[in-house]
Chains A and B, each alone.
Chain A
Amino acid sequence: MHFVWSSLVVTIIAFLILYWLLSRYAFGPLFSVMEKRRELVKQQMDEAALTRSQAAQYVEDQKAALQQARKDAQDIIEQSRQTSNRQAEQLITQAKEETTRLKEEAAREIESEKNKAVAALRSEIGAVSVQIASKVLEREVDAKAQDQLVDNYLKEVGIRQ
């Protein structure tokens, strides 16, 4: 094996031509496309990260909204329950008042009827006692008169009968 100087020179020339050709026609576009792809991937990854955080945010929001809705529903139920309770109480109270009122009215009526009856009785008694008193007084006037009075009275009673 001997050293051939021309091979050395030819190799250098060939390599430099290849280097020039590749740099001129192949590597430029390749590197720029690789750069673009890197940017694309980076951009897509950024977008994905953004979307993910947004999604997480949405989920969080939805959870909060759901919680709120649940709470609202609870409140509404509670409120309506309270309202109905109050209404029921009101109705009961009203009914009670009504009955009390009716009872009192009835009692009052009874009272007044009783009073009326008592008054009527009292006036009757008064009249009867006056009559009795007059009868008693009549009898005291004389025996004869008294007899006659009794007779009259009896007659009167008999007639009435």
Chain B
Amino acid sequence: MHESPMINVGGIDFDLSIIIALIVSCAVVFILVKLATRNLSVENPGKLQNFMEWVVEFVQGLISSTMDYKKGKPFLSLGLTLIMFIFVSNMLGLPFGLVFDYTSVEKATAFGQPLTSVVDGLAKGSHGVEVAWWKSPTADAGAAMGLALIVFILVHYLGMVRNTKSYFKHYFKPFFFFFPINLIEQFSKLLTHGMRLFGNIFAGEVLIAVLLKMSGVWYGAIASVVGLIVWQGFSIFVGSIQAFVFTILAMVYISQSLETEEDH
């Protein structure tokens, strides 16, 4: 597996490939949505506006399938941002990769900072360290968990503020001694929420990297191309499904935290 381009700024390690990917994802989503909403028309909507309206209606469908739509309406923007951001992020690593092979410490710099992963790798005695600069941000556990954490914090904030009594009560349901189990459940929700996304996308990218490495010999190259065609197609499917799953789970958790009657 390729190394990440790590730099150390002020004692904190930053993964540059994730930061680049995040910026690109945000920019793509924002530009796409901005283009779609540039010439809004009531009577004669353009193709992009129609597409955006389809996305909005899709997310509205997600929300109304998990909770009363009146309650869920404020989360429409959140759901839209989530599904578009995650979808674009998942797609980002698919079309190509940018892998650089660093053999000397002097060349391995970015923004004037040494790439610590390369420095460490060379110090361990490797001849060269391959660094992947381009990947899906959601193929990083930190990024995926960050998204899950946003939802987690929102869900618990909503539970505490909007639904205080039943929120605290539900930790002790059905019996008092279920408290540790309920607590674990909450954190396992956070973990599975983020890790499901990360695992799916990361696995996809690992297999793409493996298939790319096969192309050293001619029969390997043929197998690699065939495999990539199949696997990238499947990755598009997986990426869409994961964006959908992540968003609908976020909506399910929100609806659970907003439920006043704990009858499940």
Contact = CB atoms under 8 A, between A and B. Distances in A.
A40 interface: yes
Interface stretch (B104-112, B139-147, B210-218): B139-147
A16 interface: yes
A19 B85 CA distance: 9
Describe B's contact surface by its main secondary structure. helix
Interface residues of A, number: 31
A45 interface: no
A51 B257 CA distance: 48
B12 A27 contact: no
A14 to B, nearest CB: 4
Contacts of A7: 14-15, 18-19, 137, 140-143, 146
Interface in A11-27: 11-12, 14-19, 21-23, 25-27
Nearest to B12: A6
Interface string B2-31: 001010000011110011001101100110
Contacts of A25: 34
Nearest to A18: B26
Contacts of B33: 22, 26-27, 30
B1 interface: yes
B252 interface: no
Interface in B35-67: 36-37, 40-43, 45, 49, 52-53, 56
Contacts of B140: 4, 7
Contacts of B40: 29-30, 33
A22 B146 contact: no
Contacts of B85: 15, 18
30 contacts: A4-B6, A4-B15, A4-B140, A6-B15, A7-B19, A8-B143, A8-B145, A8-B146, A10-B18, A10-B19, A11-B146, A12-B147, A14-B25, A15-B85, A15-B146, A15-B150, A18-B26, A18-B85, A22-B29, A23-B81, A26-B36, A26-B37, A27-B37, A27-B76, A29-B37, A30-B53, A31-B76, A33-B41, A37-B45, A37-B53
Interface of A: 1, 3-12, 14-19, 21-23, 25-27, 29-31, 33-34, 36-37, 40
Given A3-B142, A14-B22, A27-B33, 15 more contacts: A4-B14, A4-B15, A7-B19, A8-B142, A10-B18, A11-B142, A11-B143, A12-B150, A15-B26, A22-B33, A22-B81, A29-B37, A30-B36, A37-B42, A37-B53
